[in-house]
Amino acid sequence: MSTFVSVGNANQPFTRLLDAITACADLLPKPIVVQHGHTPFNDPRCEGHAFLSMDQFVEQIRSAEVVIVHAGAGSVIHTIRERKVPVVMPRRAKYGEHVDDHQQELALALAEEGKLVVVDDVASLLSAVDKARAMQEKSGSKDIEIPPMVKVVENLLTALAADS
C-alpha cells in the first residue's frame, strides 16, 4: 500500500495540493511519495522528489494504491493507462498555479466519464480518495476504456514531442 502524489513540471508553485497532502498525510496509505516539481516541499512523513524519470513516474503510479495528481494530460493519461482511478486536483489560474484553466476543463470532462475524481481543496481530499478507491475496486482488473478526449490529447502530445 502506498500513495503517489505528483504536481507535474509547471514552473508555477502548486502549494494548494501539497498543503492538502500535508494536512491528510497521517490518513493516507504509506509510504507517501511526492513529486513536488518546482514547489518547495518538506514533510518528514513523505518521500519527496523534485522530479522523476518517466520510468520512475510510471512505476510509482503502477505500485501505488492511491494516486493523487494535478490534471496535466500526461499525468492523467499515464494513470488511466495503468488502470488506476486518480484523484485529480487541477491547477487553477485564479490561484496563480497555471496560465489558464485547461486542467480544470480536462478534469471535469473525464470526471463526467467516471475516469477520475476531482478535488479542489483539503476539506474534500480524503472523501475523494475514498471515492477513487471504491471506483477502482469496482472496475477491478478489467480493461479500462481510454476516453476519446484522452486519445486526442495523447496523440497531440506525441506529435509535439516528435517535432521537438
Q: Which CATH number fits the domain that encloses residue 144?
A: 3.40.50.2000
Instruction: Give pLDDT, residue 75.
Output: 96
Per-residue pLDDT at 157: 65
Say what the pTM is.
Answer: 0.85
Mean pLDDT value of segment 100-111? 92
Structure-derived torsion over alpha carbons of residues 153, 93, 15, 60, reported in degrees to the nearest 10: 0
If we measure between CA atoms, which residue out of 140, 10, 146 comes closest to residue 69?
Answer: 10
d(CA 40, CA 94) in angstroms, rounded, equals: 20
Are the CB atoms for 43 and 21 separated by under 8 Å? yes
- Looking at every residue in the chain, the average pLDDT score rounds to 90
- Domain with 109, as residue range(s), is 3-163
- pLDDT value of position 160: 63
Instruction: Determine the longest span between alpha carbons in the chain, in angstroms.
Output: 44
Give the chain's domain count. 1
Is pLDDT of 23 > 90?
A: yes
How high is the pLDDT of residue 149?
Answer: 67
Give me Rg for the CA atoms of the chain.
15
- Any bridge partners for residue 4, and if so which? 33, 67
Q: How many helices (H) and strands (E) does the chain have?
A: 6, 6
